[in-house]
């Protein structure tokens, strides 16, 4: 690998800068870190989803509280308007069974039909009375104005109640879905399974590493045994060669002794042949390459 920096070239190979292979502990640590990261991602995602659901529920509950607060205020205003209508009736001395009051109630019915489209319809007699009623009295004008304001708040209260009921159903649905999903429990279970798998893989890596070390050690032992066997075979060969050399030496020695015996007999027959015997012995020494010291003893024996 060649790294160039500011015009200088550095070669990174089997140098202290080269990336060394990781040992089994480092590989296990790296694997464990990856598994833990995956497990924490699952749990974190589940918690984020749960928090999002919690926020949604809180927002809906807060909306319900706001709607309820509006309704409480609207109820107060509505009660005040109704009281003002009773006060107006009393101030204008209008009786319940009076034509003025009956006409007011007919005007209120017409307003409800036109405003809210109720199923209640005007009868022909009521329609005829509205057409021939003439100008409204001051009491009827004031009461109708208060009635319209009260209707606004009644409509507001009804709408808020519908929204609160809808929010309540949504909250219950979310809570039921949460109970059914077991998101956090499932995430924790998945995390435990991932960590268990990590531990199992780490154990497998340790076992594999131990097996590799055992195999390497066994190979070293086998190589050493093979070396010893070769050495023993070489030693046996050297011993066998030494034996063969000794055998040859013994045979040579025996041959020399036989020749010396023959020469000795000749010496006994004639002293003049001693010198010839010495020459013969020296010739034998040269031919057989024996040590002078070994043959010197033999010569001395013969001379004696």
Quick: pLDDT tens for 55-112.
999 999 999 999 999 999 999 999 999 999 999 999 999 999 999 999 999 999 999 9
85 CB contacts (<8 Å, ≥6 apart)? 143, 146, 147, 150
The phi, psi pair for 49, rounded to 5°, reads -65, -40
pLDDT beneath 70: ranges in the chain = 1-20, 119, 183-184, 187, 191, 198, 242, 245, 249-250, 252-253, 256-257, 259-278, 280-282, 284-304
Can you count the helices (H) and strands (E) in the chain?
7, 2
**Residues recorded for the chain:** 304
Angle between helices 138-181 and 183-269 (to 10 degrees): 20
Q: Give the pLDDT score at 181.
A: 78
Token pair for 22: 């990781």
Q: Is 39 exposed, middle or buried (CB count within 10 Å of its CB: 0-12, 13-18, 19+)?
A: buried
Residue 255: half-sphere exposure toward Cβ, Cα within 13 Å: 11
User: How many angstroms separate the Cα of 237 from the Cα of each of 224, 228, 231, 248, 251?
Assistant: 19, 14, 10, 16, 21
- CA triple 198-203-208, angle to 5 deg: 125
Q: Is 153 exposed, middle or buried (CB count within 10 Å of its CB: 0-12, 13-18, 19+)?
A: buried
DSSP bridge pairs for 131: none
């Amino acid at each position: 690998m060649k790294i160039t920096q500011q015009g200088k070239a550095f070669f990174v190979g089997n140098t202290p800068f080269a990336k060394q292979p990781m040992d089994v502990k480092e590989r296990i640590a790296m694997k464990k870190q990856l598994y833990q990261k995956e497990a924490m991602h699952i749990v974190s995602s589940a918690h984020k989803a749960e928090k999002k659901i919690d926020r949604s529920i809180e927002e809906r509950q807060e909306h319900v509280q706001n709607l309820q607060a509006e309704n409480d205020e609207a109820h107060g205003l509505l009660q005040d308007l109704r009281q003002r209508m009773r006060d107006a009736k009393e101030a204008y001395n209008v009786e319940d069974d009076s034509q003025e009051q009956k006409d007011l109630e007919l005007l209120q019915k017409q307003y409800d039909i036109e405003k809210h489209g109720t199923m209640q319809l005007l009868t022909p007699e009521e329609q005829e009375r509205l057409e021939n009623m003439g100008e409204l009295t001051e009491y009827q004008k004031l009461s109708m104005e208060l009635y319209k304001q009260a209707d606004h708040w009644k409509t507001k209260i009804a709408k808020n109640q519908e929204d609160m009921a809808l929010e309540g159903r949504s909250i219950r649905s979310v809570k039921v879905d949460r109970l059914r999903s077991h998101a956090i429990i499932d995430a924790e279970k998945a995390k435990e399974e991932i960590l268990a798998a990590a531990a199992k893989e780490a154990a497998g890596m340790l076992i594999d590493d131990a097996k590799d070390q055992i195999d390497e050690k066994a190979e070293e032992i086998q190589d050493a045994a093979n070396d010893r066997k070769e050495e023993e075979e070489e030693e046996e060969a050297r011993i066998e060669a030494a034996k063969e050399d000794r055998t040859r030496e013994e045979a040579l020695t025996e041959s020399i002794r036989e020749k010396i015996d023959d020469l000795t007999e000749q010496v006994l027959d004639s002293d003049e042949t001693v010198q010839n015997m010495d020459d013969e012995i020296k010739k034998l020494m040269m031919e057989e390459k024996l040590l002078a010291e070994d043959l010197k003893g033999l010569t001395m024996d013969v001379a004696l």
